[in-house]
Amino acid sequence: MTAPRFAANLDWLYTEHGYLDRADAARADGFSAVELQQPHLHDIDALAARLAGLRVVLINAPAGDWAAGERGFAALAGKQAEFRKAALRGLDLAARLGSPHLHLLSGLAEDSAETRATWLANLGWAAEQAGAITLTIEPINRRDMPGYFLHRQAQALELLAALGSPRVKLQLDLYHCRIAEGESLSHLQRALDRGLLGHVQVAGVAGRHEPEADEYAAELALLDIRGWIGSVGLEYRPRTGTSAGLAWLSPPAAR
């Protein structure tokens, strides 16, 4: 793989280390980029200092009380105030950490006229606040996250087309796509063709561990062919230690 570089997700990888120490571990393994799922739970000044020299390519906005079952607010009628607070906090964090992308989670809700209208209004408002930061939205399969509003690729593309904002792009997690759709290559092709691809993530379909060496070979080759210059986030649970499990990712220069 020559075009996109891989980014270590510091909330999923290197969990054998303390959170701030994970940046050092990723750097030692040759990564130059990282993504962060819950940076708002940490001291941002301390986190920024430890990340020095690493590119932060994506962060998530706060998604509510995760332990209580909240998974974001974008599609939730009556939760507009919570959505706006989370979006503004996320935009501030993205600016402070130098992240060009901010993922806004949609929440647990059925797909209906009301939830679509709520989502469109919320994302439209957030896009007006985003400045130079690109917002991303991610379909998440309902096996892993039951009841999540945004769960199919066609649904996401329909909403992005209706929104019509260049500030909002698709975060295409190839693992979630394969679980929900059965395959991911055609969906990646469609997102590229429509100019809607903002960020890519991978995990092995079997157990959400490390991918097999060639599991996403066709998708990664397509990104190379199309000259896509974004990053591919590694969002998986290492079977053992993170460093020992990186053998699938070769050559190290791709990091």
Short-list 35, 29, 30, CA closest to 8: 35
CA distances (Å), 87 to each of 83, 116, 131, 148, 252, in order? 6, 18, 13, 18, 35
Token couple for 42: 């940490």
Q: Which residues are catalytic?
A: 138, 235
